[in-house]
Chain A
Amino acid sequence: MPFVALKLSEFTSTYHRSGAMPTVVLMDSSLSMTRPVSQEGSEEFQRKNLAVHGLTMLFEHMATNYKLEFTSLVAFSSLWELMVPFTRDYNTLQEALSNLEDYDKTCLESALHGVSNIVQQEWGSTCPCQVVLVTDGALGIGRGSLRHSLHTLKQRVEDKKFPLPFPFPAKMFIMCIANVEELQSTDAMDNLEQLIGLNGGEGQIFTMEGPLCLKSVQSMFGKLIDQAYTPFYAVLHCGNLASDVQVFPRPEPVLVDEEVDPIPKAVQTDLEIVGFIEIADISSPPVLSRHLVLPIAVNKEVDEVGAGTTEDAEEEPSANQMAGKSPNFCVLLHGSLKVEGMVALVQLGPEWYGMLYSQADSKKKSNLMMSLFEPGPEPLPWLGKISQLGPISDAAENPYGEDDSKSPFPLQPKNKRSYAQNVTVWIKANGLQTDVQKILRNARKLPEKTQTFYKELNRLRKAALAFGFWELLKGVAELLERECTLLPDSAHPDAAFQLSHAAQQLKLASTGDSQYSAFNHNITPLHTDFSGGGAGDRM
Chain B
Amino acid sequence: MKVTSSRFSHKTAFVVDHCPYMAESSRQMVECDMLTKSRGQGVIPLAPVSKSLWTCAVECSMEYCRILYDVYPTRKLVRSYVHYIVSDSEFHSLNSWRQEDQSTQELMAALASVGPPNPREDPECCSVLHGLVAAVESLCAITQYQHEARRTLMDVADRVANRGRIICLTNAKSDTHVRMLEDCVSETIQEQNKLAAGSDRLMPIQRCELVLVHIYPQGDDTLVSDRSRKELSSVLSSEVHSVRAGRHLASKLNILVQQHFDLASTTITNIPMKEEQHANTSANYDVELLHHRDAHLEFIKSAQPCFLCTGDLHMAGSTSRDSGLKETVTLKWCTPRTNNVELHYCTGAYRISPVDVNSRPSSCLTNFLLNGRSVLLEQPRKSGSKVISHMLSSHGGEIFLHVLNSTRSTLEDPPSISEGCGGRVTDYRITDFGEFMRENRLTPFSEGVLDASGRTSSERAKAQLERHTRYWPMIISQTTIFNMQAVVPLANLIVKESLSEEDVLTCQKTVFNLVDMERKNDPLPISTVGSRGKGPKRDEQYRIMWNELETLVKAHVGSSERHQRVLECISACRSKPPEEEERKKRGRKREDKEDKAEKNGKDADEKAWPDSERLKGPQEREKEEQTESEMIKDSPDSPEPLNKKPRLMSEEIQPPQKSKGPVSLLTMWTNRITATSRKHEVFAGRLNSVNNKAELYQHLKEDNGMDLHENGKATR
What's the Cα separation between A105 and B328 when bound, in Å?
Answer: 45
Tell whether, in the assembled complex, residue B456 and residue A388 are in contact, meaning their CB atoms are under 8 Å apart.
yes
- Closest Cβ of chain B to A362, distance in Å, is 9
Given contacts A284-B402, A440-B35, A472-B49, 9 further A-B contacts (CB under 8 A): A123-B407, A125-B307, A275-B441, A276-B437, A282-B343, A294-B415, A342-B437, A383-B444, A417-B398
Q: Which of A21, A22, A241, A249 has the most CB of B within 10 A?
A: A241
Question: For B111, what are the chain A residues with a Cβ–Cβ distance below 8 Å?
Answer: 466-468
When the two chains form the complex, which single residue of A19, A342, A345 contacts B410, counting CB atoms closer than 8 Å? A19
- Which B residues lie within 8 Å of A467 (CB)? 51, 55, 58-59, 62, 111
A519 contacts B by Cβ under 8 Å: yes
Assess A466 versus B465: contact at CB under 8 Å? Given A158-B305, A345-B442.
no
Q: Are A416 and B397 in contact (CB under 8 A)?
A: yes
Task: Scan A428-455; emit 1 where CB is below 8 A from any B CB, else 0.
Answer: 1111111011001000000000000000
The yes or no answer to A44 lying at the interface (CB within 8 A) is no
Q: With A and B bound together, what is the CA distance between A258 and B3 in angstroms? A: 7
The residues of A that contact B446 with a CB separation of less than 8 Å are: 388
Contact partner, A385, options B34, B343, B447, B469, Cβ 8 Å = B447
Is A126 an interface position by the 8 A CB rule?
yes
Q: Are A482 and B43 in contact (CB under 8 A)?
A: yes
B116:A388 contact, CB within 8 angstroms: no
Contact among B73, B351, B423, B431 with A415 in the assembled complex (CB-CB below 8 Å): B73
Q: Which residue on A lies nearest to B249, using beta carbons?
A: A427
Which A471-510 residues have C-beta < 8 A from chain B?
Answer: 471-472, 475-476, 478-479, 482, 486
A279 touches B343 (CB 8 A): yes
- Given known A117-B306, A274-B458, contact A437–B437 (CB-CB < 8 A): no
The answer to the question of B417 belonging to the interface, with a C-beta cut-off of 8 Å to chain A, is: yes
B456 contacts A387, CB within 8 Å? Answer: yes
Candidates A261, A384, A413; contact of B398 at CB < 8 Å: A413
Does A196 touch B at the CB level, under 8 Å? no
- Is B153 interfacial (CB-CB < 8 Å)? yes
Q: How far is the CB of B356 from chain A (nearest CB, A)?
A: 7
B149 and A259 form a contact (CB under 8 A) = yes
B445–A366 touching, CB < 8 Å: no
- Give chain B interface residues in 422-477, CB to chain A under 8 Å: 422-425, 428-431, 433-434, 436-447, 449, 456-462, 464-470, 472, 474-475
Which B residues are in CB contact (< 8 Å) with A243? 421-422
A528 within 8 A of B: no
CB-based contact A427/B60 at 8 Å: yes
List CB contacts (< 8 Å) of A332-383 with chain B. Answer: 332-337, 339-345, 347, 357, 359, 361, 364-369, 371, 374, 376, 380-383
Stretch at the interface among A132-140, A147-155, A317-325: A317-325
- Are B442 and A392 in touch, CB under 8 angstroms? yes
How many Å lie between the Cα of A371 and that of B33 in the bound state? 57
B644 within 8 A of A: no
Asked whether, in the complex, the Cβ of A437 is within 8 Å of the Cβ of B149, the reply is: no
Contact of B457 with A394 in the complex, beta carbons under 8 Å? yes
Is there contact, CB below 8 Å, between A296 and B421?
A: yes
| Contacts A260-B149, A332-B433, A342-B437 given; does A472 touch B32 at CB 8 Å | yes
A244 nearest in chain B by CB position:
B421
CA of A282 to CA of B402, assembled, Å: 13
Residues on A with beta carbons closer than 8 Å to the beta carbon of B418: 331
In the complex, chain A residues whose CB is within 8 Å of the CB of B117 = 468
A235 beta carbon closer than 8 Å to chain B: no
* Contact yes or no, A486 B410, CB < 8 A: no
In the complex, A512 has a CB within 8 A of chain B: yes
Chain A CB within 8 A of B341 CB = yes
Asked if A273 is at the interface (CB within 8 A of a chain B CB), the reply is yes
With contact pairs A275-B442, A462-B108 given, residues A20 and B363 touching in the complex (Cβ less than 8 Å): no
What chain B residues lie within 8 Å of A389 (beta carbons)? Answer: 442-445, 457-458, 461
Which of B111, B298, B344, B441 has the most chain A CB within a 10 Å cutoff?
B441
How many angstroms between the C-alpha atoms of A126 and B455 in the bound complex?
A: 39
Residues in B whose Cβ lies below 8 Å from that of A163: 306
Q: Chain A residue with minimal CB distance to B18?
A: A468
Complex CA distance for A411 and B395, rounded to whole angstroms: 8
CB distance from A512 to the nearest CB of B (A): 5
Interface hits, B384-404 → A, CB 8 Å: 391, 393, 395-399, 402-403
With A279-B341, A408-B444, A427-B60 known as contacts, the answer to whether A417 contacts B399 (CB < 8 A) is yes
Q: Which residues of B contact A415 (CB under 8 A)?
A: 69, 73, 102-103
Q: Are B447 and A388 in contact (CB under 8 A)?
A: yes
| B414 surroundings in chain A (CB, below 8 A) | 68, 292, 361, 365, 367
Indicate if the CB atoms of B422 and A366 lie closer than 8 Å: no
Q: Is B156 touching A427 in the complex (CB atoms < 8 A)?
A: no
In the bound complex, residues from chain A placing their C-beta under 8 Å from that of B104 are: 418, 423
The interface residues of chain B lying within 8 Å CB-to-CB of A126 are 297-298, 301, 347, 405, 407
A184, CB-defined interface residue at 8 Å: no
**A301 adjacent to chain B (CB < 8 Å):** no
Q: Is B684 an interface residue (CB 8 A)?
A: no
Q: Is B204 interfacial (CB 8 A cutoff)?
A: no
Instruction: Name the residue on A nearest B470 (C-beta).
Output: A240
Interface extent on B, as a size class?
Answer: 35 or more
Q: Would you call A419 and B441 a contact (CB within 8 A)?
A: no
**Lowest 5 A-B CB distances belong to which pairs?**
A328-B422, A20-B410, A390-B457, A468-B116, A124-B407
Interface residue B70 (Cβ < 8 Å from any Cβ of A):
yes
Shortest C-beta distance, B351 to chain A (Å), equals 8
Q: How far is the CA of A411 from the CA of B394 in the complex (A)?
A: 11
Closest to B473 in A: A327
A420 within 8 A of B: yes
CA distance A517 to B343 in the complex (A): 51
Residues of chain B with a CB closer than 8 A to A332's CB: 422, 428-430, 433, 474
Interface centre among B30, B370, B439 (most CB of A within 10 A): B30
Q: Does A103 contact B (CB under 8 A)?
A: no
Q: Does A410 lie at the interface of the complex (its beta carbon under 8 Å from any beta carbon of B)?
A: yes
Interface contact A384-B442, CB-CB below 8 Å: no
Bound complex: CA A225 to CA B43 (Å): 86
B431 to chain A: which residues have CB within 8 Å? 336, 339
Question: Pick the contact of A411 from B149, B442, B444 — CB < 8 Å?
Answer: B444
- Between A168, A277, A341, A413, the greatest number of chain B beta carbons within 10 A of the residue's beta carbon is seen for A413
Interfacial chain A residues near B107, Cβ < 8 Å: 466
**Is the CB of B258 closer than 8 A to any CB of chain A?**
no
Query: Which one of A68, A167, A278, A347 contacts B301 once the chains associate, using CB atoms below 8 Å?
Result: A167
Decide if A475 touches B32 in the complex (CB within 8 Å): yes
- Contact status A357-B343, CB under 8 Å: yes
Contacts of B343 in A (CB 8 A): 279, 282, 284, 343, 357, 359
| B46 at the binding interface (Cβ < 8 Å) | yes
A276 to chain B, nearest CB (A): 4
B353 CB → nearest A CB, Å: 7
Query: In the bound complex, how far is the Cα of B431 from the Cα of A511, in angstroms?
Result: 71
